[in-house]
């Protein structure tokens, strides 16, 4: 039963990602059901694959379900963005900001070299993961220091990756750079009561960070085009009307997730 709940949580995390993705991108590239459900399927697979490593009581503990949603969200984003950024071959002409790894905003056409660099980046992330585990066994930190340092680790990685991709095209934005680690630390404050693992804290906080920032960008400014499509033509104007019912799905998932926070806190009183 716990494994089934893990798959369900992963699918809901993926559906959440699928929905903000289609909401922002549809007017510029159209809508396809197969693409819409891609992150849903990946999220379900990640939910199933990650569960044996934690073996939590997801059926009975709302705090663990909350953390697991953030964890799977982060892992799905990491896997999908790695594939899109380093492996996928796609015409970049439709983008204002290229979605393929490059140097100074110019996509790298040498696929073996690009994939090799991607593997190197993945190795660095894995080393960070194991480094946190090693530090956890040797260092004791007060809660505030744990939140500020460990809780924001993957936020800093995300900020650096975003600056590498976006800054050569649209310039360096100080607020945007510090936003991810700041939001990650804030989410870590809420997640830390429910996990003792530094690595899970860092990953879950980053998962919630991505979900929060994308909610703000896509639904807080629905008429503003995504940065990657800035100045590009709208090819599917009918999508503005088509996408509206999907917002109900998106915020229903948010509500189901966030209600776990007070629920879990009450159970721990």
Cα separations (Å) of 94 from 81, 97, 165, 190, 225?
Answer: 18, 9, 16, 39, 13
Q: Determine the pLDDT at residue 225.
A: 86
**Please, are residues 112 and 134 in contact by the beta-carbon 8 Å criterion?**
no
- Domains contained in the chain, number: 1
Q: Determine the pLDDT at residue 93.
A: 84
Owning domain of residue 66? 2-267
Q: Determine the pLDDT at residue 222.
A: 81
Which residues, 6+ apart, have CB-to-CB distance to 231 below 8 Å? 96, 225
Secondary structure (DSSP) of the chain = -HHHHHHHHHHHHHHHHHHHHHHHHHHHH---HHHHTHHHHHHHHHHHHHHHHH---TTT-HHHHHHHHHHHHHHHHHHHHHIIIII----GGG-SS-SS-EETTEE---HHHHHHHHHHHHHHHHHHHHHHHHHHHH----HHHHHHHGGGHHHHHHHHHHHHHHHHHH---HHHHHHHHHHHHHHHHHHGGG---HHHHHHHHHHHHHHHHHHHHHHSSTTSPPGGGTTPPPS-TTHHHHTHHHHHHHHHHHHHHHTHHHHHHHHT-
Q: Determine the pLDDT at residue 68.
A: 97
Q: What is the mean pLDDT of each run of 10 residues along the chain (269 residues)?
A: 96 96 91 94 97 94 96 96 92 87 89 94 89 88 87 90 88 89 94 92 96 92 85 90 94 96 88
How far does Cα 3 stand from its chain's mean position?
Answer: 22
Q: Determine the pLDDT at residue 115.
A: 94
- Tell me the backbone φ, ψ of residue 223, rounded to 5 degrees: -90, -5
- The pTM of the full predicted model, rounded to 2 decimals, is 0.93
């Amino acid at each position: 039963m716990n494994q089934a709940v893990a798959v369900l949580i992963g699918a809901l995390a993926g559906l959440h990602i699928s929905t903000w993705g289609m909401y922002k991108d549809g007017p510029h590239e159209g809508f396809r059901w197969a693409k819409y459900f891609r992150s849903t399927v990946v999220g379900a697979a990640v939910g199933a694959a990650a569960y044996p490593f934690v073996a939590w009581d997801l059926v009975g503990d709302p705090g663990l379900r909350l953390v697991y949603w953030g964890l799977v969200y982060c892992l799905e984003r990491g896997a999908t963005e790695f594939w899109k950024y380093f492996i996928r071959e796609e015409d970049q002409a439709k983008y204002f900001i290229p979605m393929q790894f490059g140097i100074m905003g110019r996509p790298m056409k040498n696929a073996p070299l690009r994939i090799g660099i991607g593997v190197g980046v993945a190795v660095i992330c894995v080393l960070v993961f194991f480094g946190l585990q090693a530090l956890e066994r040797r260092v004791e930190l007060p809660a505030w220091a744990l939140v500020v340092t460990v809780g924001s680790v993957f936020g800093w990685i995300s900020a650096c990756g975003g600056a590498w991709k976006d800054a050569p095209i649209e310039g360096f934005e100080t607020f945007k750079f510090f936003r991810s680690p700041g939001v990650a630390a804030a989410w870590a404050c809420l997640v830390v009561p429910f996990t003792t693992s530094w690595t899970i804290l860092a990953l879950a906080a980053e998962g919630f960070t991505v979900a929060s920032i994308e909610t703000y960008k896509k639904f807080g400014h629905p008429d503003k085009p995504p940065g990657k499509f800035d100045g590009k033509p709208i090819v599917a104007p009918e999508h503005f009307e088509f996408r509206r019912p999907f917002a109900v799905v998106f915020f229903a998932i948010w509500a189901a997730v966030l209600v776990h926070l007070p629920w879990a806190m009450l159970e721990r009183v």
